[in-house]
A = this chain, B = another copy of it.
Amino acid sequence: MNHDSNNTQRVKLTGADIAKHNSKDSCWVIVHGRAYDVTEFLPEHPGGSKIILKYAGKDATEEFDPIHPPDTLDKYLDKSKHLGEVDMSTVEKQEKGEDPEEKERQERIKNMPILEQCYNLMDFEAVARRVMKKTAWAYYSSGADDEITMRENHSAFHKIWFRPRILVDVEHVDFSTTMLGTKTSMPFYVTATALGKLGHPEGEVILTKAAHKHNIIQMIPTLASCSFDEIMDAAQDGQVQWLQLYVNKDRAVTKRIIQHAERRGCKALFITVDAPQLGRREKDMRSKFDDVGSNVQSTSGDAVDRSQGAARAISSFIDPSLSWKDIPWFLSVTKMPIILKGVQCVEDVLRAVEVGVHGVVLSNHGGRQLDFARSGIEVLAEVMPVLRERGWQDKIEIFIDGGIRRATDIIKALCLGAKGVGIGRPFLYAMSAYGLPGVDRAMQLLKDEMEMNMRLIGAAKIEDLNPSMVDTRGLGMHTAVVPSDTLGLNVYDPLVGPRMKSVKERPKL
């Protein structure tokens, strides 16, 4: 059969045509009704050849979609390998056996709490955890190594306590602010997170719509499931979006992305600098393995080649050689303010000021990259006194992200000198559990908390927040307690209260 990819009027391919190419010697797959020859691409596939071969000669759309942005094949597969349209009526439907795990999940979805039962950001996470697909939950919720930094991110806020001021007139509380020149209703933005369609079929555009409703800035991720333009198109007039950028080894590609974003109206460029290589996330890897390989009995190390989890599958293009000497080039190709995302010590903040970028995000990538990286809030407490000492505090805008779950977390960051904070996973979870209404309510809850807590700390506006309002003596101590003597603990009879005459207990609150 002749398949000339230039002939757009040509006869469609049939399922039978494709089905012949079902091995690593000749591997075709169907995606969205079009066939692709990926034989040569197999060894290069970041996710490993195995996962593709599973769909060799078949329709791979369902597997492909949530992990790959729609323009992936155009970008990464040479046009000569695009084989053209397939007559989908001739493609044998995959008879999926009933998946007991999916059946149980559907059962859980039926039993979901209603949206109004979510009173804080953690509640969405609790629901998402139960109703998301296992692999999707694993991708969103996983972190690097032992996930210690991931958990420390929130835990660090617990070391900061308030010194509230009383008898301040807080009848009218205004927590709107300005970030990078944009007026916004509250000092947080939706930070960039990858693969939104894993959580919800509509993907990142849901966040765009919620952000508009609440006048919140959205940062568009390089690794979105929706294409960049889809996300821009979903924005309303006047809505501000920023671009998060993984720098491509091919700077021409990078330049094209940046300038396209600027033309489309993006207002700032956040260059990710904490990910020369995407992290190992074992929870994610283990979940992928279980998914694909759980019935394999082999114990031989060589014969098995498995997925490394979603993170590895999508990140091979990132340039690990990116360095300070590249920054002037970025400043030269765009007028957007440039912010370094992922700065982790004061020395690098000072250098960022010196090279002339406009901001930094103190971030450890949500605990997904280097385990034992410190939390953004802890680094902030290290950075600001040095900046103030040099009188540089207004030369650069400082943001943090990681672990923010409560308005009190935001207030702590602002007291310490942050201009704003990024929030990522919580909105993903709200979206995954309840779609747009979920994200809407999540943002509204943050506003409710913000109003309450601004009042209670005695601040009528953002400018009133200052370092004297927080007690940070505990911050910066990384305390791990002495392992306990289990023999001693085992012989201790804990004190108990008065016993009921029968053992019937009240239900838990």
**Per-position binary interface string of chain A over residues 396-418, scored 1 when its CB falls under 8 Å from any chain B CB and 0 otherwise:** 00000000011010001000000
Let me know if A97 is at the binding interface, CB within 8 A. no
- Contact between A501 and B113 (Cβ–Cβ < 8 Å)? yes
Enumerate chain B residues within 8 angstroms of A163, measured Cβ to Cβ: 344-345, 374
How far apart sit A502 and B131, CA to CA, in the bound complex (Å)? 13
A137 nearest CB neighbor, chain B only: B509
A88 on interface, CB distance cutoff 8 Å: no
A310 at the interface (CB under 8 A from B): no
Once the chains bind, are B273 and A159 in contact (CB under 8 Å)? no
Q: Which of A137, A345, A478 has the most CB of B within 10 A?
A: A478
Q: What CA separation (Å) do A122 and B485 show in the bound complex?
A: 10
Q: Tell whether, in the assembled complex, residue A166 and residue B343 are in contact, meaning their CB atoms are under 8 Å apart.
A: yes
Interface residues on A, range: 35 or more
At the interface with chain B, which of A23-31, A70-78, A197-205, A294-302?
A: A294-302
Residue picked from A123, A141, A166, most chain B C-beta under 10 Å: A166
* Chain copies in complex: 4
A371 within 8 A of B: yes
Residues A301 and B482 in contact, CB atoms below 8 Å apart: no
A166 touches B483 (CB 8 A): no
Write the nearest CB–CB distance from A454 to chain B, whole angstroms: 10
Q: Are B122 and A301 in contact (CB under 8 A)?
A: no
- Give the docked Cα–Cα distance between A487 and B437 (Å): 22
A284 CB to closest chain B CB (Å) equals 9
Q: Is the CB of A166 within 8 A of B126?
A: no
Determine the distance from Cα of A405 to Cα of B344 in the docked complex, in whole angstroms: 24
Residue of A152, A161, A451, A468 with most partner-chain B CB within 10 A: A161
Determine if A164 is an interface residue (Cβ-Cβ < 8 Å): yes
Identify which of residues 314-355 in chain A touch chain B, using a CB-to-CB cut-off of 8 Å: 319-324, 326-327, 340, 342-345, 347-348
**A289 with B117: CB separation less than 8 A:** yes
Is A373 engaged at the interface, CB distance under 8 Å to the other chain? yes
Is residue A105 within 8 Å, beta carbon to beta carbon, of the partner chain? Answer: yes
Please give, as numbers and ranges, the residues of chain B lying within 8 Å of A505 by CB-CB distance.
Answer: 130
Q: Assess the A478–B299 pair: CB atoms within 8 A.
A: no
Which residues of A in the span 109-138 have a Cβ within 8 Å of any Cβ on B? 110-120, 122-123, 125-127, 129-130, 134, 137-138
Contacts of A134 in B (CB 8 A): 506-507, 509
Nearest Cβ on chain B to A345's Cβ, whole angstroms = 4
Q: Are A487 and B480 in contact (CB under 8 A)?
A: no
